[in-house]
Structure 1
Amino acid sequence: MTATAPTVAIFGASGLIGQAVARHLVRAGIPVVPVARRFTAGQRQDLGPAAVEVPILDLDPARLRSLLDAHRVDIVVNCVGVLQGGRHGGTAAAHQGFVGRLLAALAGRAAPSLLVHLSIPGHPEADTTRFSQSKRAADRLIAEAAVPFAILRPGFVIAPAAYGGSALLRALAALPFGLPAREAGSPFATTAVADIGETVARLARRWRAGERDWRVVWDVMERQPADVGQVVEAFRRWIGGPAPRFRLPSWLMRLGALAGDAAAPLGWRPPIRSTALWEMRRGVTGDPAPWAAALGLEPTSCAAALAGLAPGVQERWFGRLYLLKPLVVGGLAAFWIVSGLVSLIPGFAAASAILTAHGFPEAAARAATVVTSLADIAVGLAVAVRSTCRRGLLAGIALTLAYMGAAGLVAPELWLDPLGPLIKPWPVMILMLVALAILDDR
């Protein structure tokens, strides 16, 4: 494209779809302003100096308008979305709340801007979750506004990166497990992320050519959808995963969703939550014909989308580790908290007696037991919270080394103890190193 190409701002550019669309547009020669609450170091390197870090959901219409004006934005792509409420806000705030402010910002601009909004497919009467209801409410706000818009409703998005649902499907494909019949049989149309990027690119070209009267709602997905089980099997063939030998029971899926709901207030973003499970059972369907005809695109099938990605050993490693990650982190958090509580309450006398037996005054032994027990509990609580987990793991490693060093000085005979009190902490430290290695979500 030439220098007259419209500038595209992508809100939510740190997400699976937002980052992929930004990269697609850059390759197409279209100026991009990626905007997100936070980018990882890798994303900042990938997206370049144009990336803008700002608390998107906190911006009022005036600040949104200033941001768009400062970068001379012509087209806004809204990829902001929250599956279920968490520490950074609920679905209503992320969807219709933000969209309402964005529409007010666009309406107040001197020149018209095109809003490309990422929504969800399906019929409104089937919207039973706060996620789907708030998404549909945002769609209505856009339809009632005076700004040009294109609402894109993709299916299950297949992208090179893995996050959320796409990460979960990779995990299932890498393990010998099949989904329960109820979930496996739901219709599940997929969308190649490149189709979303190309849709935005073609809209940008036509906007540059002078087409301004955009008020469309398109289902952006493959023509012939499969069901969830068939999509998992397609991923299994793609990465060379093992044949499914066990079918997961429905109660285990529900239990996993409840565990995900419990972890979310601590800052974690698990792929299995109540809303995700319900939306999976609801299924993904739509009619891509109007979109394909309007832009002259042929929708990419699930098989073709996967064929365009090069699988490697990293996919199998990721899939196998993904579902172990909550067990590793949760197990370490429980280990530190429980060990601290045991030493502090039922085992306090025995723990103090070990120190007094090696020459510590009784008062010092009791004080040391209290301090170390509270330190253990603090490490466990830090590991359990997403924002402090990394520091908690590092503190746990340091504390373990300190314990072993002190014990080696005070009671060196413990190195030869048949129960291995100074040998067993090493596997725990190794597990904490593993947790640090797989901690990142993006």
Structure 2
Amino acid sequence: MRQPNILVLGASGLIGRFVSDDLRARGFRVIGVARRLSPAQKMSPLDIELPVLSLDAAAVTRLLREHTVDVVVNCLGVLQDGPGSDTQAVHCDFVMRLLQAVGDSGRAIRLVHISIPGTAEADRTAFATTKREAERLISASGIAHAVLRPGFVIAPSAYGGSALLRALAAFPFRLPDKEMAAPFQPVAVEDIAATIAWLAARDIDDASMKAVSWDLMQSEPVTMAGIIKQFRLAFGTADWPHVAMPSFMLDLGVKLGDLASHLGWMSPMRSTAVAELRRGVTGDPSAWIAATNIIPKTLAETIGRHPASIQDKWFARLFLIKALVFASLVAFWVVSGFIALFISYRAAAGILSAHNFPSALVDPITVGASLMDMSIGVLIAFRRTSALGLVAGMIASLGYMAGSAILAPDLWIEPLGALVKTGPAIVLMLVALMTLDNR
């Protein structure tokens, strides 16, 4: 009997990437599909970049037939509505087209859908309600399916919320006590992959596996404080004193995170993330364990009893600092340009005049340099153009340094050392550029 062909939708995400690699290691032929894959994620010619969410049902049907797909694993999901993110489009509209495509393919296909734990009565966010609506659509479709509801996923990689918890463990502060006490049942990503492999190996005609919904998480109750404590043991920070963050700071962080999302940054501190955090992550994994005989890894087994590696520590420490780095660079360029153009224009122009610049060029150069500085700050602020802004900022800074060395060398020894400080600013922009990747 041949191994089934598996199509993983969302193969660039935390779950999708791990599942694709794990299933291949088990001998399955896995077609990994994502809207965008980083160069490091293109590990196989079967990893395909496609505008998944814009595909109509006919295009998805052709994809299923072309690769003779036996199992579809849908890991697609977005946390919050915003530019380029639409929970209704991703969680409901696409699922409707996917279900139609499975029905039109003429093949016996099992759908494995990644959802969220909890109950409809507790759903308050667009993220949760659309996820639950997708479950209802799948249940009513009549196709063979398994809805998996993982708890808080712990994986070797870390994005979003899983990265945030690592960062909290690496610093001497914590979330407010109410949030720390929220139930937060974890699951190892290895257990999710093992479950999908188990389902893929089942006969699709097995009536007992025709339609299942399982909560995937460890059985023992765990709070967010418990998860962070385990990370602190790994990072060696368990004995540090930890100060509780005031609630207003968390709320401020949420507002800033929502603002950043409109600029294209996927901050883990957004309103939906905190709302889901406060609701907690709970479920009943007994049906899953009984059916598959998979014993979920404990928290200690998942995070590990061994010390974190140096790259783990660096990532955790830099995760929160990264936001501060980018915010400071945006402020540096925008504010400096604004001051030169609107507040201290005469002083800025006077520097050029004092160094014998032609009077006809003083105003154009002063205005142009100020507008350039502000433009660099705006470019850095938007995620899509941030790399361009950082490179432009480094080039502009080097240009200022070189131009001053040639035309006004005395500026290098002025008391406040403005030009000398440009060097560290270039280094900071280089650090920002090196940490720009999310995946």
Counterpart-to-counterpart distance in 2, 1:225 and 1:436: 41
Unmatched 5+ stretches in structure 2 = none
SS, match of residue 117 in structure 2: coil
Quote the residue 1:211 is aligned against: 206
Q: Secondary structure at the match of 1:188?
A: coil
Describe the SS at the equivalent of 1:152.
Answer: strand
Match of 2:108 among 98, 112, 137: 112
Q: Which moved more, 1:416-425 or 1:392-401?
A: 416-425
User: Structure 1 residue 128 and structure 2 residue 124: aligned?
Assistant: yes
Is 2:134 the counterpart of 1:138? yes
Aligned counterpart, 1:284: 281
Q: 1:295 aligns with which of 292, 295, 299?
A: 292
Partner of 1:365: 362
The residue that corresponds to 1:399 in the other structure is 396
Contact 1:190 1:225 (8 Å CA) reproduced: no
Quick check: 2:74–2:113 contact (8 Å CA) kept in 1? yes
Superimposed CA distance per residue, residues 136-195 of structure 1 (whole angstroms, 9 cap, x where no aligned partner): 011111011021100000000000001011100110111111221110011110010001
- Number of the residue aligned with 1:37: 35
Confirm or deny: 8 A CA contact 1:352 1:362 kept in the other structure: no
- State which of 15, 23, 26 in structure 1 corresponds to 2:24: 26
Of 146, 149, 154, the residue aligned with 2:150 is 154
How do residues 251-266 of structure 1 correspond to structure 2 at under 5 angstroms? 251-266=248-263
- Aligned-residue RMSD, C-alpha: 1.3
Residues of 2 paired with 1:80 and 1:150: CA distance? 15
1:419 partnered with 2:416: yes
Distance 1:162 1:263, change over 3 A: same
Q: Deviations for 1:283-342, whole angstroms, at most 9, x for unmatched residues?
A: 011010101111111111211111288720111111111101111011101110111111
1:52/1:30 CA distance change after superposition, 3 Å? same
Question: Are 2:51 and 1:60 equivalent residues in the alignment?
Answer: no
Q: Give the match's secondary structure for 2:203.
A: helix
Task: Give the 3-state SS of the residue equivalent to 2:302 in structure 1.
Answer: helix
Q: Residue 42 of structure 2: SS of its match in structure 1?
A: helix
Aligned length: 437
TM normalised by structure 1 equals 0.97
- Counterparts of 1:324-363 in structure 2, within 5 Å, are 324-363=321-360
Mean Cα deviation higher: 87-96 or 188-197: 87-96
- List gaps (5 residues or longer) in structure 1: none
- Relative to the length of structure 2, the TM-score reads 0.97
Separation in 2, partners of 1:399, 1:411: 16
Q: Find 2:314's aligned residue among 301, 312, 317.
A: 317
AA at the equivalent of 2:264:
G
Partner SS state of residue 343, structure 2: coil
Q: Distance in 2 between matches of 1:312 and 1:421?
A: 39
Which residue of the partner structure matches residue 387 of structure 1?
A: 384
Residues 8, 75 of structure 2: 8 Å contact kept = yes
Q: Deviations over 1:70-104 (max 9, x none)?
A: 11111000000111112222111110111111111
